[in-house]
Each structure stands twice: as structure tokens, then as C-alpha cells.
């Protein structure tokens, strides 16, 4: 799924939005499994408008660029649903964290500790954020599923790191006395 389709999905789910708002929606709701930057969103919306998949209404503002509020057309909705059905539901993960851990024996002990701490924090934060969203308001079964799925996987990673970190750091530096 490219930025164009993601924008259509955001408009379908959140209703009429500006490019700026779509980015916010992304960060709040999709950030753990999709990304999109302004430089990808704005041109995408422009192209979608040309293709008739969205319409745009301009709201004038003083002292700020006019707001361009996009609206999903019926053709846009159909295009999005079709794109969902055509998708092979693939996933791609690139993890430099795992790569670094793979080569742990090549790393400075402090770098090793640093990336483990950082990963632990990151996973804990994700779990908290997703749990917060989960408990904050009602969701469709699909949204609920994705939230719980994200929580389950991130929690598993978090528990794993918490269980293994200390032991691992000691194994890598058996001579070190400082905790």
C-alpha cells in the first residue's frame, strides 16, 4: 500500500481532513505499522484529486496557508476497498536492532546496553500507547484486533528483553563487576 491508498483509508476512517490532519491521524493510529511523511502525503493528495478519487474544498485562513480539506469520493472509496482486496497483506520489517544484537560480540558493552535499554523503552512505550488507545473509546472489531495484536507482539518482545537482558549483558562481559 502506497501513500495514496493510505490517504484514502485515512479519509474513509477519519472523515474529511487536511493533509496536515491526515499526518496526525497516521501518527496516532497507524504509526506502529505504517508511516507517511508530509512530503509523501501532499503530492499524493494532489494526484488523488486529479484522478477524481478525492475532492478538495479550500477554507481561507488569515496569516496561514489556506486549509485544503479533502473529501473521499465514491470512486475513491471503491478504489480503496479494491486495493485492500488486491493486496497480498505482506509485511516487511527491517530491524537494525536485531542486526546489532546478531553481532553483539562485535559491540562495545556500553553500546550493547544502550540499544537494549532503548529497545526496552521503545517496546514499553508502544504497549502503553496502544493500551491507552484501546481503553480510550469504542472501536470496530477490526481496530480492536489490530490494537490487541500490536500489544501482544510488543509485550512479548518486551518480556523477552526484560527476562534476558541482564543475563545477556553479564555473559558478554564476564569480567565486569558493576551490575
Partner DNA sequence: ACCTACATGTAACCCGTTACATGATTTG
Partner DNA sequence: CAAATCATGTAACGGGTTACATGTAGGT
Q: Which stretch binds a second copy (CB under 8 A): 14-22, 68-76, 95-103, 129-137?
A: 95-103
Contact 9, 81 (CB under 8 A): no
Binding flag, residue 78, a second copy (CB under 8 A): no
What phi and psi, each to the nearest 5 degrees, are found at residue 89?
A: 55, 35
Contact 158, 129 (CB under 8 A): no
| String of contacts with a second copy for each residue 27-66, x by CB under 8 A | ---x-xxxx-------------------------------
Binding flag, residue 38, DNA (CB under 7 A): yes
Binding flag, residue 14, DNA (CB under 7 A): no
Binding DNA (rule: CB under 7 A), the pick from 61, 106, 140, 178 is 61
- Distances in whole angstroms, Cα of residue 15 to Cα of each of 22, 53, 83, 118, 156: 10, 14, 19, 36, 34
Binding flag, residue 44, DNA (CB under 7 A): yes
Locate cell 480503496: which residue? Answer: 80
Amino acid at each position: 500500500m502506497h501513500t495514496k491508498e493510505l490517504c484514502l483509508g485515512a479519509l474513509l476512517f477519519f472523515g474529511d481532513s487536511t493533509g496536515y490532519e491526515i499526518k496526525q491521524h497516521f501518527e496516532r493510529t497507524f504509526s506502529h505499522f505504517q508511516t507517511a511523511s508530509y512530503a509523501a502525503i501532499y503530492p499524493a493528495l494532489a494526484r488523488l484529486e486529479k484522478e477524481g478519487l478525492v475532492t478538495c474544498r479550500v477554507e481561507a485562513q488569515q496569516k496561514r496557508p489556506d486549509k485544503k480539506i479533502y473529501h473521499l469520493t465514491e470512486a475513491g472509496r471503491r478504489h480503496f476497498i479494491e486495493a485492500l482486496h488486491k493486496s497480498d497483506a505482506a509485511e516487511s520489517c527491517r530491524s537494525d536492532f536485531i542486526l546489532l544484537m546478531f553481532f553483539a560480540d562485535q559491540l562495545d558493552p556500553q553500546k550493547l546496553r544502550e540499544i537494549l535499554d532503548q529497545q526496552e523503552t521503545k517496546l514499553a512505550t508502544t504497549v502503553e500507547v496502544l493500551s491507552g488507545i484501546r481503553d480510550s473509546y469504542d472501536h470496530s472489531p477490526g481496530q480492536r484486533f489490530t490494537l490487541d495484536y500490536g500489544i501482544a507482539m510488543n509485550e512479548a518482545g518486551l518480556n523477552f528483553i526484560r527476562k534476558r537482558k541482564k543475563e545477556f549483558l553479564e555473559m558478554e562481559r564476564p569480567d565486569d563487576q558493576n551490575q
